[in-house]
Structure 1
Amino acid sequence: MNAEIRHVHPDRGALATACAQELLAVAGRAVAERGRADLVLTGGSTGIAVVAALPECPAVGDIDFSRVHFWFGDERWVPTAHEDRNDQQAMDAGLAELMRLTARTPRALRAPNVHRFPARSDSADLDTAARQAATALTPTPAFDVVLLGMGPDAHVASLFPGHPGLDAAGMPVVAVRQSPKPPSERLSLTLEAIGAADQVWFTVAGADKADAVASVVAAREAGRRDPALPASLVDGRRRTVWWLDEAAAG
């Protein structure tokens, strides 16, 4: 049975620290119970703040990162190592530091455990990249947590209101064109792939998100799934968690 939980913190920094600590706790339990953990990271200022907080967590030394796999919820279709890529921002913010901190141990986080979407420099076109990414995700891993940011328009990953990607079925990855946010071409997990996760965590900070949070929460509480509010369309199989700062919580 799905439970929906809300955590409200004073600011983005406090939110990121608390979320990062709980993410590592989930990873530790997953490794102990099934031998690996699969965590989906998100971009955006709050999602990247969570990644930046990971190396500072006291539990880092207790986690067997050789059994932790990091994935991404979406990616911008730009070249490898481009500053706009979510994977590059995550590496710069905290994953590279986790690799450094654990490098001399048998529990090290290694590059193969960071699963990146194809880049513009790797694939002939966006559709080919989507097929490559889907192949890498077939069968879809048993994601323990999918982190999602949320835009002021209530989009999640790169699934925007009114875009055909919302209707993608039978596949874990969709090619996104004409994104209302640049760059216009992207790759994204589908709602099906996100909803297959054990837990979905929304990480949202800032007063500019308060109206969207209020609208989505109201829709969800009313049992209404609204395609104009993509964040209302997805739940974790066991738990859906909101990590909010006071400004976003309104």
Structure 2
Amino acid sequence: MTTDRRVLVHPDKESLAGSVAARFITKMIDILDEFEEANVVLTGGTMGEKVLEAIRTSPASHTIDWSRITFWWGDERFVARDDADRNELQARRALLDHVPVDESKVHAYPAAGEGVDLDEAARMYARELAEAAPEGKEYPRFNIMFLGVGPDGHIASLFPGHDEIRITDTSVVPVRNSPKPPPERLSLTLPVIQSADRIWMVLAGADKASAIGLALAGASVDEVPVAGAQGRKRTVFFVDQEAAAEVPAALIAPSY
């Protein structure tokens, strides 16, 4: 596993979202020059949505061949498909409904109220991942994986001290009794997260500072799950000034 983790600090949320959007567009063009298809994992939350909005409104967004990108989610709230809490709905509203994606390549998690329970929903998404995977693999090669990070250090829906963070024998796990509502969720497991080429975490606000500081200081994954978020090629924390408060100066990259 790579140890190349970088922290890029931005003055505020708006410049943070704009910078990540610009980097995404540039990197995606490079990836699609190298590969016929790309796999991108999306996240929810305020900053996740802001980044997607910034990608949509960028004058350069049209330079991406959106039809060659397959979209996945790191986790999802097990709520109705039209529930405002649903990460899929946020992503569609911010970006996917406004660019020429191939709808068959948008892999949303099953939703509540559609005839499957939480366990079957997890198995269904695991099957989708396996069907899109190279031969002999359980999930695709993820070129970029966006992750949010909670004030408690959780990533996707893998929470500190919960059993799901320790599960390694499946790609998707049902989550019950989430400490953050709604209680029922679906999440990729840590091995799947760690398989991504690039993990990009976008964080803003003083309440995230402790989690980042602990992760970079070597905290245990069980106590601070974000400590385990390391991509195969690169791991980048895109943060605003407030979230960077406890990051050692030596780890802050002047450029990327």
TM-score by length of 1: 0.91
Deviations 1:86-142 (A, max 9, x none): 0001111222122xxxxxxxxx31322221011012342100000000000113111
Instruction: Work out whether residues 123 and 129 of structure 1, in 8 Å CA contact, stay in contact via their aligned partners in 2.
Output: no
Report the residue type matching 1:86 in the other structure.
N
Shift of 1:172: 1.2
Instruction: Work out whether residues 39 and 143 of structure 1, in 8 Å CA contact, stay in contact via their aligned partners in 2.
Output: yes
Deviations 1:50-72 (A, max 9, x none): 11111122321211111011211
Matched residues in 2 for 1:178 and 1:184: separation?
A: 5
Aligned to 2:38: 37
Secondary structure (helix, strand or coil) at the match of 2:173 reads strand
Shift of 1:210: 1.3
Secondary structure (helix, strand or coil) at the match of 2:95 reads helix
Matched residues in 2 for 1:191 and 1:26: separation?
A: 24
Aligned to 1:122: 114
Aligned to 1:244: 239
Aligned to 1:180: 179
Aligned to 2:27: 26
Q: Which has the higher helix share?
A: 1
Instruction: Work out whether residues 200 and 239 of structure 1, in 8 Å CA contact, stay in contact via their aligned partners in 2.
Output: yes
Report the residue type matching 1:7 in the other structure.
L
Shift of 1:244: 0.3
> Among residues 103, 112, 118, which one is paired with 1:111 in the alignment?
103
Identity of aligned residues (%): 43
Aligned to 2:135: none
Instruction: Work out whether residues 56 and 94 of structure 2, in 8 Å CA contact, stay in contact via their aligned partners in 1.
Output: no
Instruction: Work out whether residues 166 and 222 of structure 2, in 8 Å CA contact, stay in contact via their aligned partners in 1.
Output: no
Q: Is the aligned partner of 1:49 residue 2:32?
A: no
Matched residues in 2 for 1:95 and 1:71: separation?
A: 12
Shift of 1:12: 1.1
Report the residue type matching 1:144 in the other structure.
N
Deviates more, 1:186-195 or 1:16-25: 16-25
Aligned to 2:248: none
Matched residues in 2 for 1:124 and 1:109: separation?
A: 27
Matched residues in 1 for 2:114 and 2:167: separation?
A: 24
Instruction: Work out whether residues 26 and 144 of structure 1, in 8 Å CA contact, stay in contact via their aligned partners in 2.
Output: no
Secondary structure (helix, strand or coil) at the match of 2:39 reads strand
Deviations 1:171-204 (A, max 9, x none): 2110000000111000001101110000111111
Matched residues in 2 for 1:73 and 1:13: separation?
A: 23
Matched residues in 2 for 1:24 and 1:186: separation?
A: 30
Matched residues in 2 for 1:134 and 1:123: separation?
A: 17
Aligned to 2:70: 69
Instruction: Work out whether residues 27 and 68 of structure 1, in 8 Å CA contact, stay in contact via their aligned partners in 2.
Output: no
Matched residues in 2 for 1:145 and 1:122: separation?
A: 30
Q: Structure 1: give runs of 5+ residues left out of the alignment.
A: 99-107
* RMSD (CA atoms): 1.3
Secondary structure (helix, strand or coil) at the match of 1:242 reads strand
Matched residues in 2 for 1:189 and 1:115: separation?
A: 13
TM-score by length of 2: 0.89
Secondary structure (helix, strand or coil) at the match of 1:122 reads coil
Aligned to 1:211: 210
Aligned to 1:161: 160
Shift of 1:15: 0.8
Q: Is the aligned partner of 1:233 residue 2:228?
A: yes
- Alpha-carbon distance change, 58 to 91 in structure 1, aligned in 2, over 3 angstroms: same
Instruction: Work out whether residues 76 and 186 of structure 2, in 8 Å CA contact, stay in contact via their aligned partners in 1.
Output: yes
Aligned to 1:95: 96
Instruction: Work out whether residues 155 and 230 of structure 1, in 8 Å CA contact, stay in contact via their aligned partners in 2.
Output: yes
Alignment map for 1:133-144 (pairs within 5 Å): 133-138=125-130, 139-144=138-143
